[in-house]
Copies of this chain bind each other. A is one copy, B any other.
């Protein structure tokens, strides 16, 4: 299931345990990840513990309730974070994008499962190792805690969304929030890539695939968006924002 593409020895003296040839210093997501609070020497310390790990579309990074042996920084690609109900109903808690940290809470078990929506690159740490480093670096813990606070905010917004909004509002809000996330990562555009399928959106928004499809079609017919292969172009941001505001 897990594919460790670590290639120790491929570039002899720059490589430790399979991590990137150039190291954390020029990691694509360094400035938007938890690592952004670290000094260069701290970065090296962490680098020594890191492995790169890549996944293909559909592969699982970890499963719900599984012991959390590792924690991850997402470098490239997108993952789906899901929870299952005993009867098989599925809910998509969210999507992880580059710069996101999986295992933020450093808990013993993963509360969700994580599956790659396409090719994914991650930076992996043994949880115990990472936790040990955190113990010695309160500012790193502080950074994790701030991110956890941010996650809690997002979770609350999502609850509001799920509990109190109509199908159309849900879809409009989702598109805008995806756009905002890409923007924060430096990818600012009215064309929003949708790495997930309709079923994933539906399971994220508490709708059915048919309803998501219908709402997207409706927004398209109303020229608020334009459906394009693999994504969506947001044509009428004010209107979408008005819908999302509720």
A-side residues, CB < 8 A to B, are: 83, 85-87, 89-91, 93, 104-107, 111-112, 135, 138, 141-142, 144-146, 148-149, 151-153, 155-156, 158-160, 162-165, 203-206, 245-246
**Is B156 touching A93 in the complex (CB atoms < 8 A)?**
yes
A103 and chain B: residue at smallest CB distance = B149
A-side binding surface: helix, strand, loop or mixed? helix
Supply 16 further A-B pairs (C-beta < 8 A) apart from A91-B160, A105-B153, A155-B155.
Answer: A83-B156, A85-B160, A85-B165, A86-B246, A104-B149, A105-B149, A106-B149, A112-B156, A135-B138, A148-B148, A151-B152, A152-B152, A152-B155, A155-B156, A155-B159, A163-B205
**Is B159 touching A93 in the complex (CB atoms < 8 A)?**
yes
Q: Give the distance in Å from the alpha carbon of A144 to the alpha carbon of B148 in the complex.
A: 10
Question: Can you list 12 A-B contacts with CB-CB less than 8 angstroms, sorted by A residue number?
Answer: A85-B246, A87-B245, A87-B246, A89-B164, A91-B159, A105-B152, A135-B138, A144-B145, A145-B148, A148-B152, A158-B159, A159-B159
